[in-house]
Homo-oligomer: A and B are copies of this chain.
Amino acid sequence: MATIKQEPDAAPCGGIELHTAHTLNGIKVAILLEELKEGYGKEYTVFVMNGSERETMKHWWIRIAPGGKVPCVIDRDQGRYAITEGHAILNYLTRHYDPALQYSFADPLEACAAEQWISWLHAGLGPAQAEAASFYRFAPDRQLGPTYYFYYKLKRYYNELNNHLAQRGYLAGLEGGRYSIADIAVWPFVDAIGVAGMELESYPNVHRWWRSVRERPAVGRGMRVPGGRPFVYSYEVGQRWAVDDPGGMRNAERPFRDALEAARQRFGD
């Protein structure tokens, strides 16, 4: 793993570069890259784009990645082609580097079902969870209206996911489905459900699916890229905190939980 301080031209590596930060969108790409490493021996190099490095956006990064965003995959074996946006990255990587279709589908209808769920994450659960977290946790003051609005939206998405998984093991694929980029796309967000003040245990089918995906070694490694630790709002971090320092966790969460409870009281649940 390398921290990049200059334009990647000068970086001493070839093949696939993952330019990332420890975000949910970054983790999903890292999980797929870990799977491809395990499944095919395909190597990749991580470059960390943290706060200070993002300053460089003004200079060269913005030319490569639209909007200066991370994650961005650069493929040096394809003329230094740069790709942003999770859906496009997952499709690109499997099209080029998953010839045995271990994580993707040959059948066009199964492939389309995977795309529907990736797209559902992109346009639906992903933004809803980001905004729910913004108003539940990160806004400077507690605003009941938007807190409730996004909580309610997010809850609908989790119910939808829970219903879909009632008779299935994985999001896409015939019959009970099989593990694929659809699961990889959605899993990191579900893993971080606590960021928005919600609980995995409320959605038993989602919880079961979460566990079976979590058991994959590549998922365990990918969720720690970069930095070697799980995402700060991941399920495991939350569980460990609740055991190690229950009072500390309750105190930290109390203002958020109280505001959400007040919002539910006011607007109905």
Q: Is A170 an interface residue (CB 8 A)?
A: no
Measured CA separation A156–B87 after assembly (Å): 21
Instruction: Assess the B139–A67 pair: CB atoms within 8 A.
Output: no
Interchain CB contact (< 8 A) of A123 among B66, B81, B85: B85
**Provided the pairs A86-B119, A88-B119 are in contact, do residues A109 and B78 lie with their beta carbons within 8 angstroms?**
yes
Interface-forming stretch among A8-16, A37-45, A90-98, A208-216? A90-98
Q: Is A131 an interface residue (CB 8 A)?
A: yes
CB contact list, A200-249 vs B, under 8 A: none
Interchain CB contact (< 8 A) of A85 among B84, B95, B96, B116: B116
CB contact list, A139-156 vs B, under 8 A: 139, 141, 143, 145-146, 149, 156
Instruction: Assess the A85–B120 pair: CB atoms within 8 A.
Output: yes
Task: Look across to chain B and name the residue whose beta carbon is closest to the beta carbon of A25.
Answer: B123
CB contact list, A154-170 vs B, under 8 A: 156-157, 160, 164
Instruction: Assess the B135–A85 pair: CB atoms within 8 A.
Output: no
Measured CA separation A55–B235 after assembly (Å): 36
Q: Is A261 an interface residue (CB 8 A)?
A: no
Instruction: Assess the A123–B126 pair: CB atoms within 8 A.
Output: yes
CB contact list, A32-85 vs B, under 8 A: 66-67, 78-79, 81, 83-85
